[in-house]
Amino acid sequence: MKDSKNQPNQKLGDLEKNTLKNENKAMTTDQGLKINDDQNSLKAGERGPSLLEDFILREKITHFDHERIPERIVHARGSGAHGVFKLHTSLSKYTKAKIFTEVGKETPVFTRFSTVAGSKGSTDLARDVRGFAVKFYTDEGNYDLVGNNMPVFFIQDAMKFPDLVHAVKPEPHNEVPQAASAHDTFWDFISLMPESLHMTMWAMSDRAIPRSLRMMEGFGVHTFRLVNEENESTFVKFHWKPKLGVHSVLWDEAQKISGKDSDFHKKDLWNAIEEGDFPEWDLGVQLIPEEDEHKFDFDLLDATKLVPESEVPVQLVGTMTLNRNPANFFAETEQVAFHPGHLIPGIDFTNDPLLQGRLFSYTDTQLSRLGSPNFHEIPINRSINPVRNNQRDGHMRQQINEGASSYHPNTIADGCPFQAMMKDGGFHSHEERIDGNKIRTRSRSFMDHFSQARLFFNSQTKTEQQHIINALQFELSKVTRPHIRENMVNQLTHIDRKMAQEVAEVIGVDLPEKGTEPVNEGKPADADQEHYASIVKDPKTRSDDALSIIKNLKNAVKTRKIAYISMGNHPAEEFNDLDQKLKAAGAKLKVVSSKLGKIKDDAGNEMEISETLFNTDAVLYDGLILASGKMNGTELLSHGKVKAFVMETFNHCKPMLVLSDADTFIEELGLPCCKKKRKTLSELFIDNTGDGFLSSLSKHRHWEREKLL
Ligand code: HDD
């Protein structure tokens, strides 16, 4: 295990000062009084009533009663880690933000990943968007990039955010389902909001069920501005590209992982960091000159649209490495307060109405969640740059501001703290010319809701398209009100008729002859229908390879966890050879057997068993190896759990290596697909050599196998 301490981000010394180690120290009350008995309350006699006087008991219970704070209204379930961002390519032509101009500079970061809909204790593997929020502790103040693992959003205007969240959260009358969008209220809302269809396609894709938080892309979603020393602005879209590539699990697998280990992602991130496999992401930017603002067939201010990478390539400028787990979940991951409005000079907003609304919401929510306007003083939220202003007092104030002056201008404190000049890093909002009527409306340039939904669907491989269709079938089959299913199928016809038909067929809905005018309750009541009719601009065949996971497959071996099932006495050479090969490629072999303890190979070498057949499951591994040897081979299949392991690995298209007698193995396995026509190992995409297995592993999954199922 690598030492995850002494990483560059130890600069966050403030946080360290607040940590407490208890070695060789006596227990005390909150007032520092040493406690002599923490087992018994104070009583009137051995069997008598407890006394009100017991201040130690009262203090302990009072604190306990108040230990919970309100969980986040969205993104409640999260996992966080410390790290560092290092710039390798300067963006000084476009921005004055020092984190993006000083090449080689290392900026400490804290990153929190999250699901959106579920409560704090819900499962990691819900079908959901993942939050991807990064706090950069820069020398110029904190900068937060509060994004998601999908580049677009469900709605265009913050006005609809509470409706979206109410619709996806458990239904209010019975508080079910937890952490799931497969229910009436969500699909009712979506079916009435065509603007949400593009993001819905993403949410139904494999992006919504990641293999690991370490294997997700991140996106700033909105168009932001970079502003340079000359105060010239360039539009920018931010991207995080994981070095491990983007990988997902199957929906059946996701549901089973949720039962077998609902902390799967949380543990995966934690263990990777503890084992020194620090996850890394490249930060990329898409830069759009101001004069090109109106060159696209969508509006850059519309968060339901992405800028295709085929039109504006992503330029990589630096790398984020997460290298230290939090010392305390509550203090750091729970209390961290992100805000898209935490800005530094050189970065600025656009008028995206979703972003503009967010700028209000995040401070407001911290006030209710963390309970005080002093939430910036919580160690994880502190800026490295000392905070100096005339804000005073309030609940739980930590800072002791000295002196008589708490206002500006003043003479008493020589005018301090004073306003910083722009040239000295004083923040100055980009001076965008605004000229318009005060009006409550949606821009006409926001009205094409289908072109990019179709672009996304067209860009997927056949396998990925099938997964989207399967997801829609699953989700909509859980909708109990037929008219909602009908409305949804109608919406889907505007994206792809064949896809809509495949969904309709299994959810008991007839495909409409012709997709009717999209219902859009989200539009203003008096918006003109004529314009609505002319909304779809996109040629039906447009696609962009960057939007597919499978077309961009890379690095599927590193850090993967492989189960080696053996009951003992397997050939020593076989195991050592595999172990070395997998280690060299960065994968991890875990010995799984019938009970904990040790087993011996045929040369008498002992090895530790990592997990047992009764405490683990195939869905928790990336691949399976069945050992050979007297006690293994096809006899392994007589263990009910081994057979289940094999079937799950097979059904989830994962790499499998059979080292025993292959022919008999297939017979014994009794796979449904082999019943009619006997198939060979290679026809089933099962390997019988270590090298073959490694090559299968590098593909992540044998998607071809899905056709056999
Ligand atoms: Fe949000 C949390 C991302 C729209 C209101 N949001 C939150 C988090 C992420 C995002 C990653 C969790 C941060 C953490 O880990 O603590 N939100 C987004 C993205 C959006 C978006 C990418 C659209 C592009 N959000 C959005 C809107 C609103 C909010 C339109 C309200 C008008 N979001 C919140 C919030 C949360 C939040 C209620 C809950 C907890 C928190 O802020 O700190 O204020």
Please give the full DSSP string across 291-312, using - where no structure is assigned.
GGTT-SSS-TT-TT----TTTS
Q: Is residue 575 part of a domain?
A: yes
**Which of 381, 143, 15 has its CA nearest to residue 372?**
381
**148 classed as catalytic:** yes
Question: For the residues 106-120, what does the mean pLDDT come to?
Answer: 98
Q: Is residue 589 part of a domain?
A: yes
pLDDT at 223 > cutoff 90 = yes
CA–centroid distance, residue 163 to ligand 1 (Å): 14
pLDDT tens digit sequence for 613-644? 999 999 999 999 999 998 887 788 888 899 89
CA–centroid distance, residue 77 to ligand 1 (Å): 13
Alpha carbon 284 to chain centroid distance? 18
Q: Is residue 141 part of a domain?
A: no
3-state secondary structure at position 319 = strand
Q: Is residue 33 part of a domain?
A: no
Tell me which residue has its CA closest to atom 37 in ligand 1: 74
Q: What is the pTM of this model?
A: 0.95
d(CA 368, CA 427): 28
pLDDT of residue 516: 63
pLDDT at 3 > cutoff 60 = no
Catalytic residue chosen out of the listed positions 142, 148, 149, 651: 148
The residue assigned the tokens 């097979």 is: 650
With a pLDDT cut of 70, the percent of the chain lying above it is: 93
pLDDT band of 524, cuts 50, 70, 90 = low
Query: Rounded to whole angstroms, what are the CA distances from 604 to 217, 384, 572, 587?
Result: 46, 57, 8, 25
d(CA 310, CA 551): 14
Helices (H), 20-74: 55-65
pLDDT band of 178, cuts 50, 70, 90 = very high
pLDDT tens digit sequence for 10-39? 455 545 557 788 889 999 999 999 999 999
364 Cα nearest atom in ligand 1: 44
Question: At a CB cut-off of 8 Å and minimum separation 6, what does 32 contact?
Answer: none
CA–centroid distance, residue 349 to ligand 1 (Å): 16
**What range does the domain containing 627 cover?**
555-708
pLDDT of residue 469: 98
CATH code of the domain in which 668 resides: 3.40.50.880
76 Cα nearest atom in ligand 1: 40
Angle at 648 between CA 643 and CA 651, to 5 degrees: 125
With a pLDDT cut of 90, the percent of the chain lying above it is: 86
pLDDT band of 517, cuts 50, 70, 90 = low
Q: Is residue 134 part of a domain?
A: no
Do the Cβ atoms of 203 and 150 come closer than 8 Å? yes
Do the Cβ atoms of 146 and 238 come closer than 8 Å? no
Tell me which residue has its CA closest to atom 3 in ligand 1: 147
336 Cα nearest atom in ligand 1: 16
CA–centroid distance, residue 131 to ligand 1 (Å): 8
pLDDT at 251 > cutoff 50 = yes
d(CA 214, CA 236): 24
pLDDT band of 1, cuts 50, 70, 90 = very low
**75 classed as catalytic:** yes
Q: Token digits for 450?
A: 């289908």
CA–centroid distance, residue 552 to ligand 1 (Å): 28
Tell me which residue has its CA closest to atom 23 in ligand 1: 153
Q: Is residue 233 part of a domain?
A: no
d(CA 210, CA 620): 13
Q: Is residue 307 part of a domain?
A: no
361 Cα nearest atom in ligand 1: 44
Count structural domains, the chain: 1
Q: Is residue 495 part of a domain?
A: no
Q: Token digits for 537?
A: 């601009």
Do the Cβ atoms of 560 and 622 come closer than 8 Å? yes
d(CA 44, CA 52): 10
The pick from 142, 164, 338 for probing ligand 1's pocket by mutation, whose C-beta has the most ligand atoms within 8 angstroms, reads 338
pLDDT at 574 > cutoff 50 = yes
d(CA 231, CA 429): 10
d(CA 570, CA 572): 6
pLDDT at 5 > cutoff 50 = no
